[in-house]
Chains A and B, each alone.
Chain A
Amino acid sequence: MITIKASGPLKSYLNGSSQVDVEAAGLSVFETLKLINIPAEMIALVLINDQPAAKDTILKDHDFVQILAVIGGG
């Protein structure tokens, strides 16, 4: 089980929730985002266990993933 925590503006994609658990071990971040219907291109930053990670990183069981939306830019 992998926990995904989404920043504020992304809650609308998760029915108002800021956190969701998914069975995504072995999937990439890209694929996992597809699974939970969040467009990858809305995500500025991905942290896996508090470390920044690329979206093609393969997730492992018990990973804690934080995703931050691109918001307003400069």
Chain B
Amino acid sequence: MRLYADDTKCCGCRACLVACSLNLFKENNPKKAALLIDARFPEPGEFKIKVCTQCGECAKVCPTGAIRQTDQGTYYVEFSECIMCGACESVCPEGVMFVRDALASSAWKCNLCGDCVAVCGTSALSIAE
């Protein structure tokens, strides 16, 4: 299972980012979300979404095993095990592995909670195989 994003439907509202930070950190802080909305204005006038594809490249390079899988196979970060080395960030093909010491003492990534899908009014986001 993984998150899918249809850029053509994104209206850039960022509700997904608030829902995400609320789930990951119990905080209202879209800068601590695990997906990215890239607003390209004034030209060409479109939004691009970057989401975790559950490729597992981050887990392969994590030296402490902080990035691990649930029983269903979803990759997530066990915050207490992260040493902020940054290896995961450099290998993520989508740029959605976040290591920001000004914001959190652990790396963070999408845990496929689905809250972003729930709040996306234009159905730009979905979860499927």
Asked if the two chains touch in their complex, CB atoms less than 8 Å apart, one says: no
Show the binding face of B for A, using Cβ within 8 Å. none
Show the binding face of A for B, using Cβ within 8 Å. none
